[in-house]
Amino acid sequence: MRALLSIPVLLAALILQTTVLSRITLLGGNADLVLLIVIAWSIQEEVDTTWQWAVIGGLLVGLVSKLPFYFYIPLFVITAGFAFWLRRRFWQVPVISMFLTTAIGTALIQTATMLVLQFTVTPFSFSEAFGFVILPSLLLNLLLAIPVYALITDLARSVYRTARIE
């Protein structure tokens, strides 16, 4: 049941990301709202559907991307796994985990995307891609990390509180 909640939440985030957030750019970078939601969900202590949210988020992003639809699934799962690992083993401060996972996940996904585009579309300078796309995307994601974390924390608490009552 809780895994099914990911479909409307991530679908709404994807629509918001492709319509509104795609217009808010910094140089060539965009914010990745679906990734931020998957990370924030993965950091929540009581959540047990981390992997489902990561797969569904990666699939949805892949469906609207020009890259193959399965490209983002392992990247989202790796990022969610890192967030899960941080939550379990490393930090008790979830906001730091959110920032660290956002930075690493954004760098991973943007770098992998740039590498695929480098070999399939048109060769470009990786240093320019780093300066004009990866770093601005990282900055935008870090700016959105706290509001997304707060919203997802409230959502997770209400979902898991309702589940405990029933």
pLDDT digits (tens, 9 = 90+) for 106-135: 999 999 999 888 888 777 888 888 999 999
Q: Return the structure tokens found at 163.
A: 């589940």
Give me the phi and psi of 29, to 5 degrees please. -95, 150
Could you list the beta-strand ranges (E) of the chain.
none
pLDDT for residue 101: 96
Q: How far apart are alpha carbons 56 and 58 in whole angstroms?
A: 5
Question: What's the gap between Cα 149 and its chain centre?
Answer: 11
pTM confidence score:
0.92
pLDDT for residue 126: 85
pLDDT in tens, the chain (166 residues): 678 888 999 999 999 999 998 898 888 899 999 999 999 999 998 888 999 999 999 999 999 998 888 999 999 999 999 999 988 876 678 889 999 999 999 999 999 999 888 888 777 888 888 999 999 999 999 999 999 999 999 999 988 876 555 4
Q: What is the DSSP letter of 48?
A: -
Dihedral (Cα; 71, 76, 82, 87), 10-degree rounding: -170
